[in-house]
Amino acid sequence: MSTRPIDRALEWAKKEGMNQSDLARALGVLPQDITNWKKRDLPSDRYLDMAQALKRSVDELLGFEPKRDTSAEANTAPGPRMQGHVPLISWVQAGDWYEAIDNFQPGDAEEWLACPRRHGPHTFALRVRGVSMEPKYRDGAIIYVDPDRTADHLSNVVVRIEGEAEVTFKQLVIEGNKKFLRPLNPDWPGPKLIEIDGHAVICGVVIGQFIED
């Protein structure tokens, strides 16, 4: 079976006696959407809908073994409704995300994480490193980054700066026609404001975070 979620979904649908139009109707989309997904793969914000339509789990859709339920899990109060899974990638991968996403495979990510926020199809996750964005974003926390969100004044953004191999995570400050990056940590020993120009690329806006126990 193919490693792409859309191919898995189409094979499962075929086994259920569903054609492309049937699957589109179950998802509430147009058959043309399915055709487009066959070319570019299934968007991450459709993983949950597709899995539910085919009575499968998102883990199965992504090619992982389904997680076994336990009595402890069954007695746990439900958390926020997940809006799909996004890939946890490296700080180097994030800089070229838009160029790499068409050829991205599930195994290219460190892991896939459930995202509780509504997000665009190109959203990815990063693990925070360092303390420049404390106290709001602590070292080791997971941030969800949406490249399709507009970066406004005081947005927390991930930026690729020319000549740097890895992206950086800072708050965006816009003053007139100028843009700056600044750390949130008031005790940060480095520069308080870093001006960026047209050679810097905003790779996405942070839409939430997850702090692991």
Stretch (H or E) spanning 180: strand 178-182
Residue in 156, 93, 151, 103 with CA at minimum distance from that of residue 126: 93
What does the pLDDT look like over 110-161, one tens digit per residue? 788 888 778 888 899 999 999 999 999 999 999 999 998 999 999 999 999 9
Question: Where does the pLDDT of residue 75 fall: very low under 50, low under 70, confident under 90, or very high at 90 and above?
Answer: very low
Confidence of residue 169 (pLDDT cuts 50, 70, 90): very high
pLDDT of residue 174: 93
Per-domain residue ranges of the chain: 1-65, 82-213
User: What is the pLDDT confidence band of residue 78, given thresholds at 50, 70 and 90?
Assistant: very low
Contact predicate 84/116, CB 8 Å? no
The predicted pLDDT at position 97 comes to: 80
1-65 fold = 434 Repressor (Amino-terminal Domain) (1.10.260)
> Which distant-in-sequence residues (6+ apart) come within 8 Å of 46 by Cβ?
27, 37, 84, 121
pLDDT in tens, 170-207: 999 999 999 999 999 989 998 889 999 888 899 999 99
Bridge partners for 194 per DSSP: 181
pTM over 0.75: no
The answer to whether 149 and 172 have CB atoms below 8 angstroms apart is no
Q: pLDDT at position 111, please?
A: 85
Most distant CA pair in the chain, distance = 62
CATH classification of 82-213 is 2.10.109.10, yes or no? yes
- The tens digit of pLDDT for each residue in 15-72 reads 888 898 888 888 888 889 899 998 888 887 788 888 888 888 877 887 775 544 444 4
Instruction: Dig out the tokens for 161 from the structure.
Output: 């700066």
User: Average model confidence (pLDDT) for the chain?
Assistant: 82
